[in-house]
Structure 1
């Protein structure tokens, strides 16, 4: 089975090849060597964020393996973001991500 990171990299490459833009988004906190805390995106924020080339609509894609499930923080984000005028979905493959972006498909568990 492919790792989530491998799937994520494949998704980013496939989506960007189509002209859309998608980047890895990091959530949580990072502690630097000199003990400073840098706050990244909040827990539960999707793995990737970007925009659709045709209309600039923002894209949020949570990446999961075939057996992966959303954590509680991710469920909370999903519940909120699905009320917003954006593209969101859970992708387990590059084709899932393309369907989310180009067809408005939403994949859930």
Structure 2
């Protein structure tokens, strides 16, 4: 699992450096060796909200049936990865739609 550090940083000479990940890219991503599946996890607090660019990334992942979801706890993150859930925790996805 990797953490996608995103944002802009000002260099000592005054220029800005952008990390280069696309807008809306999830906080954590990784690879499940047992079935060669990538996964993506967006980490939020109990009241954290999804930004429009994160929702767009989620919708693209839904079309591809990629393992991804919102983790509001370590247990959520483990469930997404271990169970291979697609769209876990997003308001537009019902539990019956999780794979």
TM-score above 0.5, yes or no: yes
Moved over 3 A (4+): none
The one of 27, 44, 68 aligned to 2:24: 44
2:64 and 2:6 map into 1 onto residues whose CA distance is 20
1:95 and 1:87 map into 2 onto residues whose CA distance is 16
TM-score normalised per structure 2: 0.77
Give the gaps of 5 or more residues in structure 1.
1-21
The one of 86, 89, 96 aligned to 1:107: 89
Which is richer in helix? 1
RMSD value over aligned CA atoms? 1.6
Q: C-alpha offsets along residues 32-85 of structure 1, whole Å, 9 cap, x if unaligned? A: 212343332122110011111312311110000110010111111111121124
Q: C-alpha offsets along residues 65-109 of structure 1, whole Å, 9 cap, x if unaligned? A: 110010111111111121124211111111111111111231224
2:35 and 2:12 map into 1 onto residues whose CA distance is 41
How many residue pairs end up in the alignment? 88
